[in-house]
Amino acid sequence: MTGGGGFSSRRLTRVRDLLERHVDSGYVPGVVGVIARHGEVHITAVGTLAFDGPDASTPMAADTIWRTGSMTKPLVAACAMTLVEDGTLRLDDPVDALLPELADMTVLTDPSGPLENTVPAKRPITLRDLLTYRLGTGMVFGDPGTVPIVDALAPLGALVYPEEPSDAVPGARPAAMPAPPPGAESAPDEWLRRLGALPLVHQPGELWMYETAAHLTVILVARATGMPFSDALRERICAPLGMADTGFSVEASDLNRVATAYRHGEPGTPILIDDAPDGYWSRPPAFESGGGGIVTTASDYLAFASTLLAGGTHDGERVLSRPAVSLMTTDHLTPEQHLVSGFPAGYFAEFGWGFGMSVRTQRTQLGPSVGSYGWPGYYGTTWYNDPAEDMTMIFMHQRGPADQTAPIRQDFTTAAYQAIDD
Listed by start position, the domains of the chain span: 9-77+231-418, 91-226
In sequence order, what are the residues at sequence separation of 6 or more whose Cβ sits closer than 8 angstroms to the Cβ of residue 20? 46
1 has pLDDT over 90:
no
Contact 242, 166 (CB under 8 A): no
268 has pLDDT over 90:
no
Q: Rounded to the nearest 5°, which phi and psi values hold at 65? A: -100, 130
Mean pLDDT of the chain: 92
Average pLDDT over residues 63-80: 98
User: Of all residues in the chain, what percent carry a pLDDT higher than 70?
Assistant: 93
Strands (E), 72-197: 106-108, 118-120
Give the closest residue to 413 by CA, choosing from 393, 385, 396, 390: 393
What is the distance in angstroms between the CA of the first residue and the CA of the last residue of the chain? Answer: 10
Question: What confidence category does residue 141 fall into, taking pLDDT thresholds of 50, 70 and 90?
Answer: confident
Alpha helices (H) along 92-248: 127-131, 148-153, 157-160, 187-196, 212-225, 229-233, 239-241
Which of helix, strand or coil describes residue 105?
coil
pLDDT in tens, 165-223: 333 333 334 333 334 444 445 899 999 999 999 999 999 999 999 999 999 999 999 99
Average pLDDT over residues 75-84: 98
Q: What is the per-residue pLDDT for 177?
A: 35
pLDDT in tens, 2-26: 445 689 999 999 999 999 999 999 9
Q: Which fold has domain 9-77+231-418?
A: Beta-lactamase (3.40.710)
Q: What is the per-residue pLDDT for 176?
A: 36
| Low-confidence winner among 124-133, 141-150, 178-187 (lowest mean pLDDT) | 178-187
CA–CA dist 8, 264 (Å, integer): 36
pLDDT in tens, 230-255: 999 999 999 999 999 999 999 999 99
Question: What confidence category does residue 142 fall into, taking pLDDT thresholds of 50, 70 and 90?
Answer: confident
User: Of all residues in the chain, what percent carry a pLDDT higher than 90?
Assistant: 85
Q: What is the per-residue pLDDT for 422?
A: 85
Average pLDDT over residues 140-150: 92
Q: What is the per-residue pLDDT for 131?
A: 98
Q: What is the per-residue pLDDT for 173?
A: 41
Q: What is the per-residue pLDDT for 292?
A: 96
CA–CA dist 300, 219 (Å, integer): 24
94 has pLDDT over 70:
yes
Q: What is the per-residue pLDDT for 174?
A: 38
Q: Rounded to the nearest 5°, which phi and psi values hold at 48? A: -130, 175
Average pLDDT over residues 373-379: 97
Which of helix, strand or coil describes residue 149?
helix
Average pLDDT over residues 393-419: 92
374 has pLDDT over 50:
yes
Q: From residue 80, how far is each of 77, 134, 162, 216, 260 by CA, in Å? A: 5, 16, 26, 11, 31
Q: What is the per-residue pLDDT for 185?
A: 58
pTM confidence score: 0.94
CA–CA dist 351, 357 (Å, integer): 10
CA–CA dist 198, 292 (Å, integer): 23
